[in-house]
A and B are shown apart, each in its own frame.
Chain A
Amino acid sequence: MNLRDQPALECVQIGSGERNSIAQPSGFQLDRRDFLKVLGGGLFVCLTHSSGWTQETSRAFVGQELPKDLGAWLHIAADGQVKVFTGKVEVGQNIRTSLAQLVAEELRVPFDAISMVMGDTDLVPWDMGTFGSRTTPTMGPQLRTMAVTAREMLLGMAAERWHVDPAGLTAANGKVADQGNSRSLSYGELTGGEKLVKIVSSKETLTPATAWKIAGTPVPKAEGRDFVTGRHKYPSDMTWPEMMFGAVLRPDGFNATLQSLDTSAAEKLPGVKVVHDGDFIGVVAPDAFSASRALRAIQAKWNVPTQPSNQGLFEFLKNNPETGGDSQQHVSGSVAQAMADADLKLEEHYTVEYIAHAPLEPRAAVAEWNGDKLTVWTGTQRPFGVRDELMQAFHIPIAQVRVIQPDMGSGYGGKHTGEAAIEAARLAKAAGKPVKVVWTRREEFTWAYLRPAGLIEIKAGARRDGTLVAWEHHNYNSGPAAIATPYDVANQVIQYHPAKSPLRQGSYRGLASTANHFARESHMDVMAHAVGMGPLEFRLKNLTDLRLRAALQTAAEKFGWGRSKSTPERGFGIACGTDKGGYVGTCVEVEINPASKKVRIRRVVQAWESGAIVNPDGLRNQTSGAIVQAIGGALFERILFADGRIQNPHFAAYRLPRFSDTPEIEVILIDRKDLPSAGAGETGIVGLAPAVGNAIFAATGIRLPHMPLAPRGGVLNS
């Protein structure tokens, strides 16, 4: 099995060791009559994956169901405004802008003519969720295909009206023009009196990136003004008349059982209602202050069982395999034989700790019951997943649940689940009014899920001339993303070992790609030094992947790699990697204070390539942001836990990267207009940690195999 071809499905992994199967697309509610009623006529194009619907066009609706597996749809109204409907969500990664650019490009309309309707389960087609860097490579081409189809239809409609050959017409700027006869019709004029539905499944000929005029340009963030004026409504900002505020009583620790409960004091508070239903204990109150006061007034005693802690965590992960987990193994050649024949053999154990996503907006939801119909506004990367959770929690059919995802205060893989949505819905049901639940920072740290901790054992063998001959890589618990080596090694054993995680774990930006790259790229550095080669030279000797070579060499060149020698106070490090269609090369300079041993990252140069660039400004922002976020996991972020409790569930004790931690950052984007666009939200995070570790080694001669590298405030152990 070629591990590098495995899609990033592990990103939907939620919970302690469990692997969620991906839900099948659920049926869509509206038939096409309803649709056009909602949209008020015009041209409606939708995309299906099943070929049975190929090229169906209809002007006579008989109320048939639409195909069940629609990927997206697009509507052009009589005023020429274009609405694009997708289940993907905007969480700060800027797809509301970049997807609209792609549609505008293919439809030949101005960017401002497009509005994106996203993440509303009653309005948009089913979507698995926004993760795994899948939006650009999968939703992008779907939307473009629909837009091309719409454009072709509009050309055809104009040709029909003018009784000319459509080949002589052009579409541009929201109009079809007949240059020969100096006449034009706007898209609105063409679609105004129509009620047209077209269903497409075939791949249309898309405009090549070399000819892009709107895609490929640095269009500013859609609705950007609302973010600087405070007008944008995040999930936690949603407010409704009569809305009550809810809060949920949390156990004293994980896996705790309730020993005793006294809610009488809370119930005496004015306007407060206590909701106790099985394991669920919550309160509703007319205002947020009263809700939290009521929660504090509840007397509860819990029995918290003895549980693992950070002490011995990695032995625990190695010794507690998840039976029935999807262990993946890749074997080529004979590692045993190659290791026996190798001139140099080195082994190292690398570890990564649990870390938190810490999205600045914690989980939040407002739930409203209107009779039997439940509507929830919540922050999630999987609105349809949350809809399923609500259906199960309340035993209600699909038609009775609507989940709406306002563009949220980010997720980084941390908001795949619908806890706050279910809690708000439970409380709203009991209160008979809409209820808002906003998690506290402590709740977000404790009751969400974490990036998995992991142990990675690597053994490698090389010949004296620097040729890698054997590579063995075992990852316990953290995951299989980017576990395969991109280097040319004839003999390999590469295996992911799922483990029973003591803490609830799940997706994260890049997920295991960070851990696997940290271990691999650190070990590449180990091997380079062992064979007496420079780290760049050694990598290039064992690397034929042209895209990765280009990213690595571009970063090295812009950084001025090799121009200065590391000293005990200043170290240079390099790393590279690839995952999910993105290629990254990273060079860093670290400074180590000789007295305090504090590490400071001074400079980062990162080259990034993910095919044709859709929005260079958004991509630069994502890449730079990934570097900054990576600083935390590389140097100081880690979850401390014992006795079923998170011991540092707040920002004073869980340090996040700040302004003063931020180095000089130079991002070089490699625009491959000849290659399809890949997603870029995640893989930009993987190069920093190994490059920093390698730079620290270059300065000090000390190999740090444990992330975070300097957990005590960025200070190295001496």
Chain B
Amino acid sequence: MLMEFGMSEFVLNVNGARVPVNAPAEETLLSVLRNRLNLTGTKYGCGEGQCGACTVLLDGRPTRSCMTPVSAAANAKIVTIEGLEQAGKVSPVQQAFFDEGAFQCGYCTSGMILRATALLRETHSPTEEQIVAAMDGNICRCGTYPRIVEAVKRAAQLPTQGAGR
């Protein structure tokens, strides 16, 4: 239904809930999550898919929400950082980041955690080279990369829960 100039109605599947939203079809998923749904855990860093701060999972695939029009996400299961906790318990990757202190300002952390979550779903015990290759599109300007690598290794050792890591 056309709401107003260029607006469309979408029903998004976000963190397991069906969420109706009115937005222009070409608006980015990042903008919709942050500015219309107040899911601000997903961050803007560059707007050109270079830093990974906006990473979310679309049907399990790590996806740059700053490069994804909301219309392209309408039929996918979207998981954001807010959707990783289950029954008040953080996911193994979240736990591992916390345990390793794998952040400084923490602004890149949501994107890092989602990228790592996707990696560990595909590769249960990744080598250091696999971790670096998978994570290389995500920037931590504070430079906590060595701890993030350790956090991913640690998460790989933790038991999975529910729907996965």
- A44, chain B: closest CB distance, angstroms: 31
Flag whether A614 is at the interface (Cβ < 8 A).
no
Partner of A360, one of B48, B80, B97, B108: B108
Contact with A along B124-137 (1 / 0, CB 8 A): 00000001110111
User: How many angstroms between the C-alpha atoms of A652 and B45 in the bound complex?
Assistant: 12
- B124, chain A: closest CB distance, angstroms: 20
Known: A227-B103, A651-B139. A360 touches B45 (CB 8 A): yes
CB under 8 Å from chain B, chain A span 405-438: 407-410, 412, 438
Known: A91-B105, A224-B101, A228-B90. A659 touches B43 (CB 8 A): no
User: How many angstroms between the C-alpha atoms of A628 and B36 in the bound complex?
Assistant: 36
Which interface residue of B31, B50, B106, B133 has the most chain A CB atoms within 10 A?
B106
Partner of B107, one of A361, A412, A440, A621: A361
Partner of A659, one of B31, B38, B48, B145: B145
Flag whether B46 is at the interface (Cβ < 8 A).
yes
Closest B residue to A651 by CB, please name it.
B50
Flag whether A656 is at the interface (Cβ < 8 A).
yes
Q: Which of A50-58, A69-77, A232-240 makes up part of the contact surface?
A: A232-240
- A550, chain B: closest CB distance, angstroms: 25
Q: Are B144 and A625 in contact (CB under 8 A)?
A: yes
By a CB distance below 8 angstroms, the chain A residues around B57 are: none
Known: A92-B105, A234-B107, A245-B35. A224 touches B98 (CB 8 A): yes
Flag whether B44 is at the interface (Cβ < 8 A).
yes
By a CB distance below 8 angstroms, the chain B residues around A622 are: 104
- B104, chain A: closest CB distance, angstroms: 4
**Residue count of chain B within 8 Å CB distance of chain A:** 61
User: How many angstroms between the C-alpha atoms of A540 and B42 in the bound complex?
Assistant: 50
Q: Are B41 and A231 in contact (CB under 8 A)?
A: yes
Q: Are B46 and A409 in contact (CB under 8 A)?
A: no
- A339, chain B: closest CB distance, angstroms: 41
User: How many angstroms between the C-alpha atoms of A288 and B42 in the bound complex?
Assistant: 15
By a CB distance below 8 angstroms, the chain A residues around B140 are: 360, 628
Partner of B38, one of A229, A231, A239, A407: A239
- B99, chain A: closest CB distance, angstroms: 8
Q: Are B143 and A626 in contact (CB under 8 A)?
A: yes
User: How many angstroms between the C-alpha atoms of A220 and B99 in the bound complex?
Assistant: 8
Q: Are B104 and A94 in contact (CB under 8 A)?
A: yes
Contact with A along B28-63 (1 / 0, CB 8 A): 000100111011111111111011010000000000
User: How many angstroms between the C-alpha atoms of A662 and B133 in the bound complex?
Assistant: 12
Flag whether B19 is at the interface (Cβ < 8 A).
no
Q: Are A651 and B46 in contact (CB under 8 A)?
A: yes
* Majority DSSP secondary structure for residues of A touching B: loop
User: How many angstroms between the C-alpha atoms of A361 and B104 in the bound complex?
Assistant: 13
Q: Are A625 and B41 in contact (CB under 8 A)?
A: no
Flag whether A143 is at the interface (Cβ < 8 A).
no
Q: Are A625 and B43 in contact (CB under 8 A)?
A: no
Flag whether A225 is at the interface (Cβ < 8 A).
yes
Q: Are B101 and A410 in contact (CB under 8 A)?
A: no
- B144, chain A: closest CB distance, angstroms: 6
Q: Are B90 and A358 in contact (CB under 8 A)?
A: no
User: How many angstroms between the C-alpha atoms of A627 and B51 in the bound complex?
Assistant: 20
User: How many angstroms between the C-alpha atoms of A172 and B68 in the bound complex?
Assistant: 55
User: How many angstroms between the C-alpha atoms of A628 and B149 in the bound complex?
Assistant: 14
Q: Are B105 and A410 in contact (CB under 8 A)?
A: yes
Q: Are B105 and A409 in contact (CB under 8 A)?
A: yes
Closest A residue to B82 by CB, please name it.
A230
User: How many angstroms between the C-alpha atoms of A657 and B148 in the bound complex?
Assistant: 14
Q: Are B144 and A621 in contact (CB under 8 A)?
A: yes
Q: Are A657 and B43 in contact (CB under 8 A)?
A: no
Closest A residue to B27 by CB, please name it.
A289
Flag whether A166 is at the interface (Cβ < 8 A).
no
Flag whether A441 is at the interface (Cβ < 8 A).
yes
CB under 8 Å from chain B, chain A span 81-97: 91-94
User: How many angstroms between the C-alpha atoms of A414 and B133 in the bound complex?
Assistant: 30
- A272, chain B: closest CB distance, angstroms: 10
Contact with A along B73-89 (1 / 0, CB 8 A): 00000001110110000
Known: A659-B132, A659-B135. A650 touches B50 (CB 8 A): yes
Q: Are B38 and A441 in contact (CB under 8 A)?
A: no
Q: Are A409 and B43 in contact (CB under 8 A)?
A: yes
Contact with B along A621-650 (1 / 0, CB 8 A): 110111111000000000000000000001
Q: Are A441 and B106 in contact (CB under 8 A)?
A: no
By a CB distance below 8 angstroms, the chain B residues around A657 are: 143, 145
Flag whether A617 is at the interface (Cβ < 8 A).
yes
Known: A230-B81, A236-B44, A651-B48. A410 touches B139 (CB 8 A): no
Known: A225-B98, A625-B143. A410 touches B36 (CB 8 A): no
Flag whether B94 is at the interface (Cβ < 8 A).
yes
Partner of B101, one of A220, A231, A288, A359: A220
Flag whether B122 is at the interface (Cβ < 8 A).
no
Q: Are B143 and A628 in contact (CB under 8 A)?
A: yes
- A342, chain B: closest CB distance, angstroms: 41
Flag whether A658 is at the interface (Cβ < 8 A).
yes
Partner of B142, one of A225, A362, A410: A410
Flag whether A221 is at the interface (Cβ < 8 A).
yes
Q: Are A658 and B27 in contact (CB under 8 A)?
A: no
Q: Are A624 and B144 in contact (CB under 8 A)?
A: yes
By a CB distance below 8 angstroms, the chain A residues around B4 are: 270
- B98, chain A: closest CB distance, angstroms: 5
By a CB distance below 8 angstroms, the chain A residues around B85 are: 229
User: How many angstroms between the C-alpha atoms of A627 and B146 in the bound complex?
Assistant: 11
User: How many angstroms between the C-alpha atoms of A659 and B137 in the bound complex?
Assistant: 8
Flag whether A269 is at the interface (Cβ < 8 A).
yes
Q: Are B141 and A289 in contact (CB under 8 A)?
A: no
User: How many angstroms between the C-alpha atoms of A233 and B95 in the bound complex?
Assistant: 19
- A275, chain B: closest CB distance, angstroms: 20
Closest A residue to B4 by CB, please name it.
A270
Flag whether A259 is at the interface (Cβ < 8 A).
no
Partner of B48, one of A92, A269, A288, A441: A441
Flag whether B23 is at the interface (Cβ < 8 A).
yes
Closest A residue to B149 by CB, please name it.
A659
Known: A92-B104, A270-B4, A625-B104. A438 touches B44 (CB 8 A): yes
User: How many angstroms between the C-alpha atoms of A441 and B113 in the bound complex?
Assistant: 22
Q: Are A662 and B145 in contact (CB under 8 A)?
A: yes
Partner of A232, one of B42, B84, B106, B142: B106
Flag whether B147 is at the interface (Cβ < 8 A).
yes
Flag whether A21 is at the interface (Cβ < 8 A).
no
Partner of B97, one of A228, A234, A617, A625: A228
User: How many angstroms between the C-alpha atoms of A376 and B136 in the bound complex?
Assistant: 36
- B13, chain A: closest CB distance, angstroms: 18
Q: Are A660 and B136 in contact (CB under 8 A)?
A: yes
- A362, chain B: closest CB distance, angstroms: 8
Q: Which residues of A contact B (CB under 8 A)?
A: 91-94, 220-221, 224-225, 227-234, 236-237, 239, 245, 269-270, 287-289, 358-362, 407-410, 412, 438, 440-441, 617, 621-622, 624-629, 650-652, 656-660, 662, 665
Return 16 A-B CB contacts under 8 Å, by A number.
A93-B104, A94-B104, A237-B34, A245-B35, A358-B141, A360-B139, A361-B105, A409-B43, A409-B105, A409-B106, A441-B47, A621-B144, A629-B141, A658-B137, A659-B136, A662-B132
Known pairs A230-B40, A360-B107 / 10 extra A-B pairs, C-beta < 8 Å: A221-B101, A227-B109, A289-B23, A289-B27, A289-B35, A360-B108, A624-B146, A625-B144, A651-B139, A658-B137
Q: Which residues of B contact A (CB under 8 A)?
A: 4-5, 23-24, 27, 31, 34-36, 38-48, 50-51, 53, 80-82, 84-85, 90, 94-95, 97-98, 101, 103-110, 113, 131-133, 135-149
Chain A to chain B: the 6 pairs with minimum beta-carbon distance, closest first: A230-B41, A628-B143, A92-B105, A409-B107, A230-B81, A227-B106
